[in-house]
Amino acid sequence: MHTLPIKIRGYHLDGYGHVNNARYLEFMEEGRWSLFEQFVDLQTLEAEGHAYVVVSIDIEYRRAANMHDELRLETRLLAFNRRHITVQQHLFHTHTNKLITAATVTLAVMSVSSGRSMVIEGGVAERLQRMLEAGSGANPPEQV
């Protein structure tokens, strides 16, 4: 599991004074990049002509986050097969440990040159397997 701290700033807020729903997607994207950077040399992946791309996001908004809130984003690789990678993300309020949002994200590996998804095998599969073995795929904590 990878943990990313997030501090809510004024530019994260919408006209209602809480974090706009689209910002949560940005937070989660940053969390995925940060997780993958721990295990994958993204420049090498790019040089190989591969990219991780989002296929779908299933997100649940549980609570609003507000100005000055301190949040904790937990990101973990759940599984992968020959076509898809599944990542789970939970965003908690740091001080109350209450769940703000939860998402399951499905990724694919894309060939940059063709723009088509690729079979996950070889070095890509080995790197993903290392992520699972490093504890990235542990069961998530209970959410209140």
Mean pLDDT of 47-59: 92
Mean pLDDT of 101-118: 95
Contact 137, 76 (CB under 8 A): yes
pLDDT of residue 21: 92
Query: What does the alpha-carbon distance between residue 97 and residue 35 come to, in Å, rounded to a whole number?
Result: 21
pLDDT of residue 134: 85
pLDDT of residue 138: 46
pLDDT tens profile 71-106: 999 999 999 999 999 999 999 999 999 999 999 999
pLDDT of residue 23: 95
pLDDT of residue 140: 43
Confirm whether 58 is a catalytic residue: no
3-state secondary structure of 126: helix
3-state secondary structure of 136: helix
DSSP 20-78: -HHHHHHHHHHHHHHHHHHH--HHHHHHTTEEEEEEEEEEEE-S--BTT-EEEEEEEEE
pLDDT of residue 55: 96
Mean pLDDT of 122-137: 83
pLDDT tens profile 12-51: 999 989 999 999 999 999 999 999 988 887 788 888 888 9
Catalytic residue among 14, 41, 58, 69, which?
14
pLDDT of residue 20: 93
CATH assignment, 2-136:
3.10.129.10
